[in-house]
Amino acid sequence: MSRKPADELSRRERQIMNIVYARGEASAAEVQSGLPDAPSYSAVRALLAILVDKGQLKHRSEQGRYIYAPTRRRSHVGRSALRRVLDTFYEGSLEKAVAALLQGSEANLSPEELARLSELIEQARKEGR
Amino acid sequence: MSRKPADELSRRERQIMNIVYARGEASAAEVQSGLPDAPSYSAVRALLAILVDKGQLKHRSEQGRYIYAPTRRRSHVGRSALRRVLDTFYEGSLEKAVAALLQGSEANLSPEELARLSELIEQARKEGR
DNA sequence: CACCTCATGCTAATAAATTAGCATCATGAG
DNA sequence: CTCATGATGCTAATTTATTAGCATGAGGTG
């Protein structure tokens, strides 16, 4: 079992990475406001520095303050995270996962989204032939 | 931003929960063998005890040893984890996530799975009308 | 029944994560 | 130019997580 980068992150570090990935990039203050049970500004900056050290984040200076962004591409990390969820909860099956989401009582997909999804699947079927 | 249960777990605790969810249930030894950089058997048992304490796991005695299982239903936790990934990496869009997986170079879906997926989508479209 | 094996419950020590405070430096206003 | 504002880089302390060892008890075997 190979160890994924996410396995190396502590609780707070993970929370922060989630926020940064969700936003694309963020300042220390923005990260702080996104954290549950937010600690001091100091604490947040310390964690951010650690993440930079670990190579998870990079920062650029903009208007006198640091803006943090992930070093690894969102698309890669996202796919990997998605796979992990599929493996952990759905035997690795995308089908089961989609079924679970669609069955959720909470209506979540617009007709347009469903249509586009359908389109995607059909296309994959043709190409996969 | 409400704090999800997964936010309360430490690195090792999370790894263990993933293993248990993936297997459905597991003994201490099984958990240990599934952990990357596996620590001592003692350490694993200590973590398991903590998880029971936190209400994440329950255990039953079977053939003289404990078998651990999650207290919360796999389907619930899985949906929640899936949603989190969608929110963090795909703007909450299932469509984008599926597209990302399908475009992955690594062929991953069998024609049968694609067919069933297609079926699921169509059904959702009809019901959603 | 006596013994061997294996799992548990505790206790304790070490390592890592999390937090905060302070001195310093840059920026923009007056 | 001088000052007020806000961000940074350190340093240090505390809390939490992680790890391992040991004594005890249950169960099965000869």
Determine the residue of chain B that is closest to A17 in CA distance.
Answer: B88
Q: Does B43 touch chain A (CB under 8 A)?
A: no
CA-to-CA distance for B81 and A6, rounded, in angstroms? 14
Residues B17 and B61 both lie in one domain:
yes
Residues B13 and B62 both lie in one domain:
yes
Report yes or no for ipTM above 0.90: yes
Q: What is the pLDDT of residue B105?
A: 66
Instruction: CATH number of the domain at B19, please.
Output: 1.10.10.10
- Secondary structure tally for chain B: helices H, strands E: 6, 3
Rounded to the nearest 5 percent, the helix, strand and coil shares of chain A are: 60, 10, 25
**Is A98 domain-assigned?**
yes
Q: What is the pLDDT of residue A37?
A: 95
Residues B66 and B105 both lie in one domain:
no
**Is A50 domain-assigned?**
yes
Query: What is the rounded average pLDDT of the residues A28-42?
Result: 97
Residues A61 and A18 both lie in one domain:
yes
Structure tokens that stand for A74 in this block: 């969102």
Q: Is B90 exposed, middle or buried (0-12, 13-18, 19+ CB in 10 A)?
A: buried
**Is B23 domain-assigned?**
yes
Give, in Å, how far the C1' of C6 lies from the CA of B62. Answer: 13
Residues A10 and A61 both lie in one domain:
yes
Q: Is the pLDDT of residue A48 over 60?
A: yes
Alpha carbon dihedral B69, B73, B79, B80, in 10-degree steps, equals -80
Determine the residue of chain B that is closest to A99 in CA distance.
Answer: B120
Place of tokens 């053939």: B63
Look over chain A and give the mean of its residue pLDDT values, rounded to a whole number.
92
Q: What is the pLDDT of residue A35?
A: 97
Mutate to test the interface with B, among A15, A32, A33, A118 (most CBs of B within 10 A): A118
Q: How confident is the model at residue B5 (pLDDT cuts 50, 70, 90)?
A: confident
Give, in Å, how far the C1' of C7 lies from the CA of B66. Answer: 8
**Is B85 domain-assigned?**
no
Residues A100 and A65 both lie in one domain:
no
Q: What is the pLDDT of residue A103?
A: 84
Residues B62 and B9 both lie in one domain:
yes
B40-74 pLDDT tens trace:
999 999 999 999 999 999 999 999 999 999 999 99
> What total number of domains does chain A contain?
2
Q: Answer whether B97's CB lies under 8 Å from B105's CB.
A: no
Q: How many CB atoms lie within 10 A of CB B102?
A: 19
**Cβ contact B12 with chain C strand, < 7 A:** no
Long-range contacts (CB closer than 8 Å, 24 or more residues apart) made by A42-49: A44/A16, A47/A12, A47/A13, A47/A16, A48/A16
Residues B23 and B66 both lie in one domain:
yes
Residues A59 and A101 both lie in one domain:
no
Q: Is the pLDDT of residue A56 over 80?
A: yes
Q: Which of A70, A85, A104 is the C-terminal boundary of a domain?
A: A70
Q: Is the pLDDT of residue A71 over 90?
A: yes
For B103, the domain range is 93-129
**Is A77 domain-assigned?**
no
**Is A103 domain-assigned?**
yes
Q: Is the pLDDT of residue B87 over 90?
A: yes
Residues 57-76 of B with CB under 8 A from A: 74-75
